Amino acid sequence: MTAVEQSLPAQNQPPKTIYLKDYQVPDYLIRTTDLRVEIYEGETIVSAMLDLYRNPAATSTATQLKLQGADLELVSIALDGKILAEGDYQFGEESLTIFNTPAEFKLLTITKIKPEANTSLEGLYRSRTMYCTQCEAEGFRKITYYLDRPDVMSEFTTTVVADKKFPVLLSNGNLIDQGELENNRHYATWHDPFKKPAYLFALVAGDLAHIEDSFTTCSGRDVCLKIFVEPKDLDKCEHAMTSLKNSMRWDEDVYGREYDLNIFMIVAVDDFNMGAMENKGLNIFNTSCVLAKPETTTDAGFQRVEGVVAHEYFHNWSGNRVTCRDWFQLSLKEGFTVYRDSEFSADMGSPTVKRVEDVTLLRTLQFAEDAGPMAHPIRPESYIEISNFYTMTVYEKGAEIIRMLATLLGKENFRKGTDLYFERHDGQAVTTEDFVAALADASGRDLTQFKRWYSQAGTPRLDIAEHYDEAAQEYSLTIKQSCPPTPECQQKLPFHIPIAMGLLGSAGDLPLNLKGTAPDFETGDNTHKVLELTQAEQTFVFERVQEKPVPSLLRGFSAPVKMHFNYSRADLVLLMSRDSDGFNRWEASQQLGLQAIAAAMKQFQQGGDLSGWAVDADLIAAYRSVLQDQSLDQAMVAYMLSLPSEAYLSELADEVDVEAIHYSRLAVRKALARELRDEFARIYTAYDHQQTYAATADAIAARSLKNVALAYLMLLNDEQFIHACENQYRTSNNMTDVMAALTQLVNSEAQMGQTIAQQALADFYARWQHESLVVNQWLTVQASCVLPNTLDKVKALQNHAGYDGKNPNKIRALIASFCNSNAINFHANQGAGYAFLADQIIQLNKQNPQIASRLLTPLTKWKKYNSTRQQLMRAQLERIMAEPELSKDVFEVVSKSLR
């Protein structure tokens, strides 16, 4: 027991840790599950008939059945029709053990639950006008007693009974019966012919409207598609429907995966802890991930809807038909499916832009997670609360591991491997080893060393040195890999790392003649290659290199690593302007931005004045050349002109200097605004602000670049641009441009800008107060304001009619936006932001532990700050830890943070 654990109140003694090494197959399995869910105001009665049999693979000879259950009232229990007496079973913590169970039997349990009082939003709960479920990972045990584990798969038949004021009754599978009952009640019975674990169960009862369409599969079957929403939102479903049909076609074309039921349904729910859930045939979505129309949704919102709809649909195979043996294998389905949805989005838009977006997210958030107290491999070895492991590591790094496998195997062999995986394991609950084995068997590649990515935590570091022998015309790259120690593993073995690269000369890409290998003309012009790093140190020698090249390294970000190479500014300018790899052009722009910010930070930390700060002329010239390059995607130009974020700068720092990062980055942005004023003004003026909105890649790119230009121009505090910004807010026909303008006004340092901002905020709320998702944007823009006293405004907004402290979307919009995305204010005022966040977590701990746990992230990074901030942040973590009845979710994160 640690010192932290010894100091806990008696009721806060550490909950049980679950270890992968302790996995055992279940003693019993369930052939069929027949549910009858009768919904009444105030309580719901659940009757569950389970057809159980002893697992042939079980090693235990015990004649008892242990079911999981939480917050249930047991009404009765019968085994093969015989009502059991109290001595025949025993309650434990979240369990019900039944003694003297035979090899095969049918068990009927009747329980009562109270969905209206379920604020955890797990299991069955009430959300506004409907009842709905969320069962991943362990929510089904809040509905009935069950073997609530992913390796127990059963065929479900579900009958939902409710008052007719809830006319829509849904569950998994195909509708097989429906009818009317006495007392103004009715029922619907659904049958899912595909075995599934309980976490994929879903149920909805509500007063809902829907849109309907159809999709003809590659084998000629017609599938009915329905999206259910509250009636007021019916006009916001078309984009999700289009995205769904595109996803279904793409999965057939790219992976050969056809949908298997007669109907596919999506339901939009306002109160939801996650983004969406892939329940078999009945996907339940957070409203933010399904509702979209130009007047209420930004471009980012449209893209999120498209990506999330695709993600949940793709789970039908990578997660449902083939699922996880246990929750340690979570990345088996999530990493693979994130990779699939990322490739889909790339095909629907710009592959380079999508890659930039994904890598930005990874390097900002997942790299920070890898370096923090919650660092874990993508297949963890242990956990206390599985909900804490729905992490950036499992999802985003998990997707990067799949991407590396696709890179190493090549497109054809990767497809063969996934085909074999689905064929071999259809209807099974399997492991990450099973996935890698299928790829290895199909391709003939030995992936033994590669599997270290699944078991070793941390972000590998590559140190790369170059040498050019002009006389021999040989160019060599010596690459060393290392990985910092983590609590689970102090000494890391070398990873198998694919490094995509090219060499640039004065005229562009050079041919690659790697010593010891044949030139590759089959896949291109032999100017691009994937090096395979498998040792702690390797040297790669290129022959017949007639001039000293500039290496283009880690193209497309071919591995989730931190790379260090001593590029000169001239090298970066060349890469930014000439590299054939779009990702590395963007990466060079980021490195140039980092150099400029580093120079300003040095001045700031030495007490120098940053007002009027200037950047080097060659940097200005590089940015100007990007603005003038007609060959570039406008979205890429926007990204290349956007400096590295404060969050990424913080992740790179050994000790985060909040003020230096914020004010230095701002100074560089202002310098670029002054020097490139004419170019930005030209871009902004040339844009047709009255054009009809379209959510196409080209239209989104044009808006993105125009709004980046506006953001720079607003830094000049010039009245003409403030008026232009106000005009954009007042006259825009889409939420993207409205929010872009409102954001710049709210953050304007000019008094005129602030006056207009207050008027705009009042106008915005008056116009959109009945649109919950739009109000969330209004909350976020205020919580993210970098001007002083924002914390006081956030506290005031908690009492505003537009805020609901029980709704996860509202909490994320206001509290999480302030604490995660507003460093200059969160870390100000002698720790007031830390105390504010701790207050929210303590309150949410009992109300919704999942949300409370996820809010903790900013405090977990306390060791990255100076000693004063460390003491203040740690004190708040200790205050949270001292709370009585701390949930498993919060306990795990806080205790690991205090180690």
3-class SS letters over 96-113: EEEECCCCEEEEEEEEEE
Angle between helix 398-409 and helix 330-348 axes, rounded to 10 deg: 70
CA 144 – CA 85 distance, rounded (Å): 19
| Residues 370 and 515 both lie in one domain | no
Instruction: Give the domain CATH number at 36.
Output: 2.60.40.1730
Where a domain ends, among 206, 233, 267? 206
Range of the domain at 156: 24-206
658-702 pLDDT per residue, tens: 999 999 999 999 999 999 999 999 999 999 999 999 999 999 999
| Residues 418 and 506 both lie in one domain | no
**pLDDT averaged over the chain?**
96
Which CA distances in Å does 269 have to 201, 273, 371?
Answer: 16, 10, 35
Check: CB of residue 51 under 8 Å from CB of residue 106: yes
Say if 368 falls within a structural domain.
Answer: yes
Q: What six digits make up the tokens of 518?
A: 């044949």
* C-alpha of 359 from chain center: 12
Tell me the helix, strand and coil percentages in the chain, rounded to 5. 45, 20, 30
- Lowest average pLDDT, out of 7-11, 38-42, 242-246, 571-575, goes to 7-11
469-484 pLDDT per residue, tens: 999 999 999 999 999 9
Q: What six digits make up the tokens of 564?
A: 């260090």
> What single letter denotes the amino acid at residue 434?
D
Name the pLDDT band for 3 (thresholds 50, 70, 90). very low
| Strand pairing category for 64-68 and 43-54 | unpaired
User: Where on the phi/psi map is residue 281: left (φ > 0), alpha (ψ -120 to 50), or beta?
Assistant: left
Check: CB of residue 316 under 8 Å from CB of residue 252: no
Say if 213 falls within a structural domain.
Answer: no
528-587 pLDDT per residue, tens: 999 999 999 999 999 999 999 999 999 999 999 999 999 999 999 999 999 999 999 999
Name the pLDDT band for 522 (thresholds 50, 70, 90). low
User: DSSP character for 723?
Assistant: H
Where a domain ends, among 206, 222, 252? 206
User: DSSP character for 80?
Assistant: T
Residues in Cβ contact with 603 at an 8 Å cutoff, skipping those fewer than 6 apart? 609, 610, 613, 664
Say if 466 falls within a structural domain.
Answer: yes
* C-alpha of 49 from chain center: 36
User: DSSP character for 397?
Assistant: I
Provide the pLDDT for residue 8. Answer: 43
Which CA distances in Å does 96 have to 47, 74, 89, 99, 120?
Answer: 16, 10, 7, 10, 21
CA 608 – CA 23 distance, rounded (Å): 59
How much is the CA Rg of the chain, to the nearest whole Å?
A: 28
| Residues 152 and 50 both lie in one domain | yes
Say if 268 falls within a structural domain.
Answer: no
Where a domain ends, among 431, 455, 479? 455
| Residues 468 and 546 both lie in one domain | yes
Check: CB of residue 632 under 8 Å from CB of residue 626: yes
Q: In the Cβ-directed half-sphere of 90, how many Cα atoms lie within 13 Å?
A: 8
| Residues 443 and 484 both lie in one domain | no
User: DSSP character for 232?
Assistant: G
Q: What six digits make up the tokens of 539?
A: 């040297």
Letter string b/e over residues 143-161, b meaning 16 or more CB atoms within 10 A of that residue's CB: bbbbbbbbbbbbbbbbbbb
Residues in Cβ contact with 28 at an 8 Å cutoff, skipping those fewer than 6 apart? 52, 53, 54, 55, 58, 65, 101, 147
How many helices (DSSP H) and strands (DSSP E) are in the chain? 32, 32
Q: Return the sign of the alpha-carbon dihedral for residues 481, 485, 491, 496.
A: negative
Which CA distances in Å does 564 have to 482, 554, 896?
Answer: 12, 11, 30
Check: CB of residue 142 under 8 Å from CB of residue 19: no
Please say if the pLDDT value at position 427 is more than 50: yes
Report helix, strand or coil for 600: helix
CA 639 – CA 624 distance, rounded (Å): 14
Domain count, the chain: 4
The pLDDT > 70 percentage for the chain reads 98
Please say if the pLDDT value at position 129 is more than 60: yes
Say if 868 falls within a structural domain.
Answer: yes
Say if 644 falls within a structural domain.
Answer: no
| Strand pairing category for 474-482 and 537-542 | antiparallel
Residues in Cβ contact with 180 at an 8 Å cutoff, skipping those fewer than 6 apart? 164, 186
383-417 pLDDT per residue, tens: 999 999 999 999 999 999 999 999 999 999 999 99
From the CB of residue 520, how many other CB atoms can be counted at a distance below 10 Å? 15
The alpha-helical segments, DSSP class H, found in 558-691 are 569-578, 582-605, 617-628, 634-641, 646-652, 658-675, 677-686
Residue in the block written with tokens 């000879």: 61
Report helix, strand or coil for 132: strand
Name the pLDDT band for 518 (thresholds 50, 70, 90). confident
192-207 pLDDT per residue, tens: 999 999 999 999 999 9
Residue in the block written with tokens 């079973």: 89
Name the pLDDT band for 10 (thresholds 50, 70, 90). very low
Residue 709, preceding peptide bond in cis (omega within 30° of 0): no
Say if 827 falls within a structural domain.
Answer: yes
836-879 pLDDT per residue, tens: 999 999 999 999 999 999 999 999 999 999 999 999 999 999 99
| Residues 891 and 754 both lie in one domain | yes
Q: Return the sign of the alpha-carbon dihedral for residues 186, 192, 197, 203.
A: negative
Q: What six digits make up the tokens of 105?
A: 């039997």
- Give every strand in the sheet of 130-134, ordered side by side: 123-127, 130-134, 203-206, 168-171
| Residues 447 and 517 both lie in one domain | no
Provide the pLDDT for residue 14. Answer: 83
Tell me the average pLDDT across 167-186: 98
Say if 187 falls within a structural domain.
Answer: yes
Instruction: Give the domain CATH number at 812.
Output: 1.25.50.10
Angle between helix 677-686 and helix 658-675 axes, rounded to 10 deg: 70
**Facing residues of 46 across strands?**
37, 111
Q: Which helix (H) or strand (E) holds 667?
A: helix 658-675
Q: SS3 sequence, 296-341?
A: CCCHHHHHHHHHHHHHHHHCCCECCCEEECCHHHHHHHHHHHHHHH
Provide the pLDDT for residue 2. Answer: 37
From the CB of residue 583, how many other CB atoms can be counted at a distance below 10 Å? 22
Torsion of CA 797, 801, 802, 807, to 10 degrees: 90
| Residues 513 and 402 both lie in one domain | no
CA 89 – CA 75 distance, rounded (Å): 13
| Strand pairing category for 263-269 and 282-286 | parallel
The pLDDT > 90 percentage for the chain reads 95
Instruction: Give the domain CATH number at 470.
Output: 2.60.40.1840
296-350 pLDDT per residue, tens: 999 999 999 999 999 999 999 999 999 999 999 999 999 999 999 999 999 999 9
| Residues 469 and 450 both lie in one domain | no
Residue 138 has phi, psi (to 5 degrees) of -130, 40
CA 136 – CA 273 distance, rounded (Å): 11
This prediction's pTM: 0.97
Quick one: 657 exposed, middle or buried, by C-beta within 10 A (0-12, 13-18, 19+)?
Answer: middle
CA 746 – CA 729 distance, rounded (Å): 12
Letter string b/e over residues 703-734, b meaning 16 or more CB atoms within 10 A of that residue's CB: bbbbbbbbbbbbbbbeeebbebbbebbeebeb
Name the pLDDT band for 60 (thresholds 50, 70, 90). confident
| Strand pairing category for 130-134 and 203-206 | antiparallel
Q: Measuring CA to CA, which residue among 617, 601, 610 is closest to residue 649?
A: 601
| Residues 435 and 559 both lie in one domain | no
| Residues 449 and 467 both lie in one domain | no
| Residues 446 and 550 both lie in one domain | no
Q: Which residues are catalytic?
A: 312
Residue 769 has phi, psi (to 5 degrees) of -60, -20
CA 596 – CA 599 distance, rounded (Å): 5
Please say if the pLDDT value at position 5 is more than 80: no
